[in-house]
Structure 1
Amino acid sequence: MNLSKIYSVLGHERRRKIVEIVGLRKKVRASELRKTMRVSPGTLYYDLDVLKKLGILRQCSDGALELTEEGQIAYRFILKEKEILETLMTSTIRLPEKLIKLGTKLSRALIPINLFSFLANHVAVFLPLTALTYIASLVLAVYNNLYLKLFNHYVGSYSVGYTVLTYIVTLGVIASIITITSRLVDVKLRTGKNLAAILTVTLATLLPISLQPIVYTAVKLATSQPLATIVLAMLQPITQILTLLFLTAAIYVITNIKLDRCFIIAALLYIVNTLINAPTIPLPTS
């Protein structure tokens, strides 16, 4: 068969549709084609004449139209082409869905939603515990001349007031993000219980950050300050990621908005932290 005949059908929307309809129904009258395709009689009969001249269609003795042998080849070619396109489109569409499902499963496994939900529902126990942990971290930071720069601790000769201020700022930033997000989605925060829950999950979010002075102090007492500073620098990327996951869980538990949106909000703060801390390289002090 001349391929130009197939291409002349494939490249013409109406003629391609005619071949598909006739191939599907085996025999079709022109009046049925016109109703199905909703085209004018003149346009339809012109396309039918072209297909007859190409040897794609023929008219039976009863007046119905059917495909010739070459028409059957063209019809199978059209079906095969549609099958290939549908396969490609399906693969293209399903791949992101699979990735999304995989990402959802991973996020559920990595983001401690159940833990933070438990903390928010038991504020009487965990609010004092998380607060004491944060205060202990502050005391150790003051003792070791550390100051907090959002998510990261650094060694520096600053006053006690400055170190306390850095802790208050970090606590305020986390609490503000959770509170503002809550208000944007109309979560009522008038009851003391809700405010206590926000403070609890905020302090819980800061637990990875609070670990930095604790680990620094332990390494410093066991070895030396230069090694403790190196360990602190190595610990920071891990605690940053944990803080990102914890903040995502905290926002989700308080606001109950979609998890991916919670992650985006937390990731924005993570990016800000990265930009703020990028120029700073912690070095051992003499």
Structure 2
Amino acid sequence: MTFRFWLRRPAATLGAALLLLQVIAIVFAGMLAPYSPTMADPLHSLEPPSWQHPLGTDVSGMDVLSRIIFATRINLLVSITAVAAAFLIGVPVGLLIGFYRTIASTLVMRLFDFIQSFPVFVLGMALVSVLGQEIWNVALVLAILFVPVFARLVRAEVLSLRERPFISAARCSGAGDISVMFRHILPNAMTPALVQLSISIGMAILLTAGLSFIGAGVRMPTPEWGLMVSSGAQQLILGVWWVSLFPGIAIVLAVLCFALLGDQLRIFLDPTKRAPGKAR
């Protein structure tokens, strides 16, 4: 049933295919990349796409294709690590502040309000500037930004579930708070958070690339899509389009992949939308 569900949907198939390509790039980057992603070759600076360099070279003579392949590791691993950490922290926090109506729960919500009152990109830029432009500092900043998202989603579900009749029945059978929270409420409150997980990875990819684009993220010569777009943007006026175009396409495809998978996961987890004939 699960395999047929995904196979019937072109959007799911496309998302899975794009994800597979990225996994292959991450695992086999050293075998797929024709050149070193960080070795400069000034004699071949800004060469257009050719047989020798299929996607051309940048201003330092580094091969664009090799850098895109290796950048997949940076962008995806940073984004997935950050969102996974936010998920693991945000879900339990959302469960607790939704189940217990205490002053501490109110204070946590006000903290989330404070974090989310800032524009995400501006707050991310400020935090990276304070912590330092290291790869895992970027992941830490993204995790901080996404914790309130998952916590709020789970809290909203918990608030709607905690007064349901089946919770009252569980209490009548002798279940304590821990049992009610983790055996009865949490499994029923996870669907929005699981769907948001995929969408947030796409958002994290955009934020990682955006921070690097403005110089507040990963630093040269580390291969990273946003940094590559920023480097090539300076030569666009000279007609050197390939340095920015191909990393930009990589960002689009990566974000599209997780957006498609998130949308299809939402349909899969909703029994009312899984009926035959409703393929998308």
Indicate the TM-score class for this superposition, using the shorter chain for normalisation.
under 0.3
Based on CA coordinates, which of the two structures has the bigger radius of gyration?
1
So what's the TM-score if we normalise by structure 2?
0.28
Higher normalized contact order (CA 8 Å, seq sep 6+, divided by chain length): 2
Q: If each structure's strand is expressed as a fraction of its own residues, which one has the higher value?
A: 1
So what's the TM-score if we normalise by structure 1?
0.27
